[in-house]
Amino acid sequence: MTEKTNNLSRVLRRRSKQEFLVIGLGRFGSSLARALIDNGHDVLAIDTDMRTVERRAAELPHVVQLDSTNIDALREIGADHFDTAVVCIGTDFESNLMTTVALRKLGVGHVITKVRTRTQKEILLQVGADQVILPEHEAGVRLAKRLSASDMVDFIEIGGDVCAVEMGVPTRYVGQTLAQADLRRKYGLTVIAIHRGDDVLVNPSADTQILQDDELLMIGRIEDAERFSD
């Protein structure tokens, strides 16, 4: 390990904030690291691939290239001093497993691992992972709860937090025109079609009146659609 890495390890061991190891910098791992940093936590991000480390260095303040299955390498960066380690190695289950075991041997306080199948989840729980997540499965469960708890009829993710959502009309907007409802200004939602019985009104005009049983197809953020539903 370089002196720079050792200095980085000492900085991240300060106890003023929660400190996280994020291991594996694919889409999930890098998004998680950025979100933790945005919420004021210290994050040391790790990946075995130098090209990935170089790409992520522009957006993450502390990134190290090392083999996380090597317990000595983890010890050198002070992995045992971190509050939580999140193993985000999704495509190489053997490396995921060996990394989880190494972190447990080092005594990391809380070890969370990301897996792709229920069988992998059971294995990692057996070797000592504190928590195992299946992101795709859990995202589906969250969406099901959203659809069940609101007026949402259908939902398609477009990219990032933007979606196309079809939903019923809250009572307070029945009888208003689209211009009066002003959903774009109030919620950031753009109505691109209205399902009305067997008909579909595509690109409805601003003076189109909203009826009781209409279903609005809108583009916007899922959080804003939920606010509209509430």
Residue 13's pLDDT is 44
The token duo for 86 is 């999140």
- Whether 142 is covered by a domain: the verdict is no
Indicate the Cα dihedral angle 63, 122, 117, 137, nearest 10°.
-90
Tell me 230's DSSP state.
-
Residue 9's pLDDT is 46
- Whether 85 is covered by a domain: the verdict is yes
Residue 157's pLDDT is 65
Residue 220 · residue 230 · CB < 8 Å:
no
- Whether 184 is covered by a domain: the verdict is yes
The token duo for 72 is 């000595």
Sign of CA dihedral 190, 196, 198, 204: negative
Residue 216's pLDDT is 92
- Whether 140 is covered by a domain: the verdict is no
Stated pTM of the model: 0.58
- b/e sequence 142-180, b meaning 16+ C-beta within 10 Å: eeeebeeebbbeebeeeeeeebbbbbbbeeebeeeebee
- Whether 103 is covered by a domain: the verdict is yes
**Do 105 and 9 fall into the same domain?**
yes
CB atoms within 10 A of CB 202: 9
**Do 99 and 76 fall into the same domain?**
yes
Q: Which residues in the chain come in under a pLDDT of 70?
A: 1-17, 136-153, 155, 157-161, 230
Pick from 12, 13, 32: nearest CA to 89: 32
Residue 159's pLDDT is 60
**Do 39 and 92 fall into the same domain?**
yes
- Whole-angstrom Cα distance, residue 213 to residue 195? 9
Pick from 17, 68, 73, 67: nearest CA to 43: 17
How many domains does the structure of the chain reveal? Answer: 2
Q: Position of tokens 């259908």?
A: 154
- Whether 143 is covered by a domain: the verdict is no
Residue 28's pLDDT is 87
- Whole-angstrom Cα distance, residue 186 to residue 37? 30
What range defines the domain where residue 185 resides?
A: 148-229
**Do 163 and 61 fall into the same domain?**
no
C-alpha 202: how far from chain center:
33
Residue 137's pLDDT is 66
Residue 160's pLDDT is 59
CATH number, domain at 89?
Answer: 3.40.50.720
Q: Position of tokens 């400190």?
A: 19
The token duo for 28 is 């999930």
